[in-house]
Amino acid sequence: MVIETGHRREFDFSDENFRHVRALINQLAGITLSERKTDMVYARLARRLRALGYSDFDSYLAFVENDEHESVHFTNSLTTNLTHFFRESHHFDYLADVYFPEILSQGKKRIRIWSAGCSTGEEPYSLAITWRSRVKDAHRYDFKILATDLDTNVLDVCRQGLYAKDKVMQLDDEYQQWFRATKRCNSQQMEVFPKLREQIVFKQLNLMDEWPIKGPLDVIICRNVLIYFDKPTQQKLVNRFAQLLSDRGCLILGHSENLSANKNMFESIGQTTFRKS
């Protein structure tokens, strides 16, 4: 059966093709793709068929199963990367106004943060800007951010550190100062200051794999990522986060996520911000 969409498609895309895609992305990345994502899947993968010269999904999906390089493109195509600087700003306010002052008052000199699912880098750069702009004598501390994502394409954007000027100009003045126009920029871009980029390590990581990460970590921020996994997998990932966090460490999730299955491990601070119990 070919999925009906109300308009003619360039390639036939059957129910079986969609089931095959859902099985493959689950196998490759552990992602549970919603049954409502048919149009999104078709639109994104049709680009790969055109680029490679395939005329049908059966042949393309068989190629994905047997080609490691294309399986990366396949996965990159199906991961969503919608973000902006200081998204859900209350999370950054909590860190700057409550959490950072608390741990620094305890004499802490080494601060480690993991941005899990960092997309195109706005989140980890927002964390670095928050630290540098709102913590007194921030440069005196050993502060590092690990930023990871499954998608290799977005990590290239992160490492470049080049962002649309209109995104930057929407920020408060105290945050805009961390960007500048350089020779690497076109007329519509600005580049993050090297001091920020030096505090962030960008790495490709599938959350379903082993994590080459040593704790304890002070903050793990994993927003709008868990929603792509089934409930048992979400619970396992949160358990693993807890093992890496320091005592009273901070876990920050996205606005539609919660810790209902792991509530005994964390204290809710509100607005999807949690402290390890």
CATH code, domain carrying 157: 3.40.50.150
* 133 and 44 assigned to the same domain: no
Q: Is residue 178 part of a domain?
A: yes
**pLDDT above 50 for 2:** no
206 marked as part of a ligand binding site? yes
Same domain for 248 and 141, yes or no, is yes
pLDDT at position 9 is 82
Does one domain contain both 128 and 22? no
Same domain assignment for residues 99 and 174: yes
Check which CATH number belongs to the domain holding 60 and give it. 1.10.155.10
Confidence tier at 175 by pLDDT (50, 70, 90) = very high
| 80 has pLDDT over 80 | no
**Of the candidates 245, 273, 254, 211, the residue with the CA atom closest to the CA atom of residue 111:** 245
Residue 64 lies in a domain: yes
> Average pLDDT of 130-138?
94
- Tell me if 19 is assigned to a ligand binding site: no
Q: In whole angstroms, how far apart are CA 2 and each of 8, 16, 132, 266?
A: 11, 9, 54, 46
Say whether both 232 and 120 belong to one domain: yes
For the record, the structure tokens of 19 come out as 């089931």
Residue written as tokens 């490691």?
A: 68
> For residue range 226-239, what is the model confidence (pLDDT) as tens digits?
988 989 999 999 99
149 is in an annotated binding site: yes
Residue 10 forms part of a structural domain: no
- Per the annotation, does 17 bind a ligand? no
pLDDT at 7: 55
Average pLDDT over every residue of 172-196:
95
Domain that holds residue 232: 89-276
131 occurs within a structural domain: yes
Catalytic site residues? Answer: 44, 149
